[in-house]
Amino acid sequence: MDAIFDDIATALREPRTDVWAKVRVIALDAAGKFLVGVAIGLGITVGSRLIAG
């Protein structure tokens, strides 16, 4: 019986892990890459329009 309470006490002392942390990192990385791609595409478009006249 003491072992059960020791396990519970150990589980309560451990820091809680964020389950969604990895998903959040992947989503932010994908969003950042998408926005960088849009910015580069707009820069190329505007640059080519300025050069072409």
At 17 the pLDDT is 73
**Rg of the chain, C-alpha, whole Å:** 25
Domain that holds residue 44: 19-53
Q: What is the number of domains present in the chain?
A: 1
Residue 50 lies in a domain: yes
Tell me: pLDDT of 2 over 70.
no
Residue 35 lies in a domain: yes
Beta-sheet strands, E only, within the chain: none
**When comparing pLDDT for 21 and 11, which is higher?**
21
Residue 24 lies in a domain: yes
Q: Which two tokens stand for residue 40?
A: 């580069």
DSSP state of 14: S
**Residue 47 CB neighbour total at 10 angstroms:** 10
Tell me: pLDDT of 1 over 70.
no
